[in-house]
Amino acid sequence: MGKHLLYINLDGFGKYYYDQMADRDALKGINRLKRMGCFFEQARTGIPSITYPMQSAIVSGCYSEMTGNCDKIWDRDKNQVVPLRRLNKAETIGEVLKKEDVTTVSIQQFTLENRGCRKDDPQHLYVQPGGDYRTRFSILERLITDREIETENGKITYEKLPEAIFLYVDDLDTIGHNPDFCRTDVEEERVKNVQQRLREIDQEIDRLLDLLENENLLEETYLLLTTDHGMISCTKDGTMQLKEALEQYGFQKVCCCWEGDVPEEAEVLLTGHGIQCQIYLPESFDKVQRMALKTYLEQFDFAEKVMTKEELMERGVCEEYADILVSPKEGIGFAFGGMEEGKLYASHDSVHEKCQHIFAVLSGPDIKKGYVESREVKNIDFIPSLAEHMGWQKPQNAVGRLTESVFVL
């Protein structure tokens, strides 16, 4: 049984960034972590692969069927597209640790803010320093070496290292979105930009492992490094093609709405996050009709995968998310006219492999060393299993669980 849990989330860490690095063997920190523990070759995220829904899912061990957070929904009563932001109806690991009086520090892991951790509670502390990876890792490193942390209310000193520490870093996600400060219209360059930041973060991970070893904490700490989603780029807006396909099917009023009021005349509503498209159909449509529409849409060049409400619910997605989900082929996004032709855009709300296949590695006292788990695991599997191995209750709504094959029995 471990004495500490350290969970690091590198937002936007699609596994292909690592796989495509010619010098990945030179990543001292990450590869050291792999040698110390278990590397998950087939780790997957959920639907929709968007930060708020998936970060909430990880800390609660369940997807939106329990958390209620699927990013946004069409509230038909209000006739509005409603963003769900930080909604989480499920219990978080932070709330479990609060009940069990486990000393906890969350560094920018926002899903635990006021969900077990607070800015004014030293025993269950939330800090939001902002900044990039250097700022956040430096706070973690000082906590490990000096047992100190600076807060809005002054310095806090701990007698011993908190039992649970959560660290959220979003550099890979920020750069992966191809923002203005590093913008390129060449996909290979976008990927290289992310990989360069990954090399820099890797140095911090290696330094972190040294600090834990020097403090005699490494062998008694579960260290989980994973993410919420990957990333995919696009250069073409497929919205008009999708609208035309739906109109050819017989729908009269196909409307688009990112957020807020939906046109009163809308028969079919399209919404989304930039890549895939949530389609809401007339309420009279039944399962058979949804399946027929799916079959029809699958024939179009823009569609990589089409899923019905029933298929989404089988993946743990809440019923309100969509009647039909269309995830486009690589290079296409449904941006509702928001893309400038010839420009490279990138986001992650897709069932494409680049968004769904994520990086994950775990080390700890009873984790097999140098082990590669080839079976599929989900990002909701980690926290419930680690909670139990730490002797804590798992979040009450959790359904995820790691296979025992990764543990030394």
Amino acid identity of residue 399, one-letter, is V
| Tokens read off for 271 | 């919404």
User: Averaged over 34-59, what is the pLDDT?
Assistant: 98
pLDDT band at 50 (very low <50, low <70, confident <90, very high): very high
Confidence check: pLDDT of 193 > 90: yes
What is the per-residue pLDDT for 341? Answer: 80
Amino acid identity of residue 403, one-letter, is T
4-74+85-231+353-406 CATH pick, 3.30.70.20, 3.40.720.10, 3.30.30.10, 3.40.190.10: 3.40.720.10
Sign, Cα dihedral of 144, 146, 147, 153: negative
What is the per-residue pLDDT for 338? Answer: 83
Residue 168 CA: distances (Å) to CA of 158, 165, 237, 297: 21, 10, 32, 38
pLDDT tens, position by position, 172-184: 999 999 999 999 9
**By percentage, how much of the chain surpasses pLDDT 90?**
97
Q: What is the mean pLDDT of the chain?
A: 97
Q: Is the pTM of this model over 0.95?
A: yes
Contact status, residue 194 vs residue 187, Cβ threshold 8 Å: no
pLDDT tens, position by position, 301-321: 999 999 999 999 999 999 999
Sheet holding 80-83, edge to edge: 72-75, 80-83, 260-261
Residues of the chain with CATH 3.40.720.10: 4-74+85-231+353-406
Question: Does 233-347 carry CATH code 3.30.1360?
Answer: yes
CA dist., res. 2 & res. 220, Å (int): 5
Q: Closest Cα to residue 41, out of 375, 339, 307?
A: 375
Q: Which residue has the tokens 């009269």?
A: 252
What is the per-residue pLDDT for 342? Answer: 83
User: Averaged over 269-281, what is the pLDDT?
Assistant: 97
What is the per-residue pLDDT for 279? Answer: 98
pLDDT band at 1 (very low <50, low <70, confident <90, very high): low
| Tokens read off for 71 | 């990013």
pLDDT tens, position by position, 327-346: 999 999 999 888 988 899 99
Please list, in sequence order, all residues whose beta carbon lies within 8 angstroms of the beta carbon of residue 345, skipping any fewer than 6 positions away.
178, 233, 234, 235, 274, 333, 335, 339
Confidence check: pLDDT of 81 > 90: yes
Please list, in sequence order, all residues whose beta carbon lies within 8 angstroms of the beta carbon of residue 355, skipping any fewer than 6 positions away.
14, 45, 49, 229, 230, 231, 232, 275, 348, 349
Sheet holding 221-226, edge to edge: 124-127, 104-107, 164-169, 4-10, 221-226, 361-363, 38-40, 371-373
Residues of the chain with CATH 3.30.1360: 233-347
pLDDT tens, position by position, 230-270: 999 999 999 999 999 999 999 999 999 999 999 999 999 99
Contact status, residue 146 vs residue 153, Cβ threshold 8 Å: no
CA dist., res. 39 & res. 249, Å (int): 46
